[in-house]
Amino acid sequence: MSDMMENKLNEEELDVVSGGEAGSGYKVRPITPIWVRVTASSLNCRYSPNGKIAKVYERGHKLKVDGITTDGEWYRLLIYDPRGGTCYGYIAKRYTEKC
């Protein structure tokens, strides 16, 4: 599986973002990037918190997150957009654990 599909992105790639959906109304606070592991049987990654599903990750999948919504409920991560390019995605924090 490619590094992009495994969500292994270098610093340069984190600065280049295209695609995605804006206007979610959520504020995101940048954080020092950390790795988290999916604890649910499957976890929807969305284009915006509570928005349209971009992709689904299975239990045990490791993801690098670089932001959190100000309500503390959603992590932000850079994903490969199935429609093309890269964009930010959001996963529910409660279904993850730090690795």
Measured between alpha carbons, how far is 12 from 27 in angstroms, rounded to an integer? Answer: 23
Domains of the chain are 11-98 (2.30.30)
Specify the range with the lowest mean pLDDT, choosing from 41-50, 65-74, 79-88.
Answer: 79-88
Cβ(89)–Cβ(45) below 8 Å: yes
pLDDT at residue 9 is higher than 50: no
The percent of residues above 90 in pLDDT, for the chain, comes to 69
Q: What is the pTM of this model?
A: 0.75
Q: Please name every residue paired with 86 in a beta bridge, in sequence order, or none if there are none.
A: 80
**By CB neighbour count within 10 A (0-12 exposed, 13-18 middle, 19+ buried), where does 97 fall?**
exposed
Q: Please name every residue paired with 61 in a beta bridge, in sequence order, or none if there are none.
A: none
Specify the range with the lowest mean pLDDT, choosing from 15-19, 27-31, 91-95.
Answer: 15-19
Q: Determine which helix (DSSP H) or strand (DSSP E) holds 13, and give its type and residue range.
A: helix 11-14
